[in-house]
Amino acid sequence: MLMGEKTRYSDEELEEFRALIEKKMASTKDEIKYYKDSIDKLTEASEGDHSSFDSEDGSSSMEKERLMQNLERQRKFYGHLEKALLRIENKTYGICRQTGKLIQKERLKIVPHATLCVAAKENRG
């Protein structure tokens, strides 16, 4: 390791990342609620309207499936953000799990749940 090379982010930097992650978590919670509500509305509409045509049922099924996929994607993202908060608590946040070096701040600002630096991610193919 080079002289003066940081091995972890400072507590102040970790708090900046915590604020960023908590903001993303709040917006992700809102999206999860939106998808749940939309799915509920579609479910209620399809249960309440038995006179609709099959083609309408098919399109509402496809829409419901799309909403469910988006809901699952947001739940997964939220879980990754929760794990990132744990890494902040443990002061291991921002350390590449493959190289042990710090992940660039710019990368973490864009992908706050990243566990690999760009070089390690590219090597994985």
What is the DSSP-derived secondary structure letter of residue 95?
A: B
User: Tens digit of pLDDT for each residue in 86-101?
Assistant: 999 999 999 999 999 9
The tally of CA atoms less than 13 A away on the side-chain side of residue 98 is 12
pLDDT of residue 32: 98
Dist. CA 79–CA 68, nearest whole Å: 17
User: Tens digit of pLDDT for each residue in 2-44?
Assistant: 455 678 999 999 999 999 999 999 999 999 999 999 999 998 8
pLDDT of residue 124: 76
Fold type of domain 11-124 = Four Helix Bundle (Hemerythrin (Met), subunit A) (1.20.120)
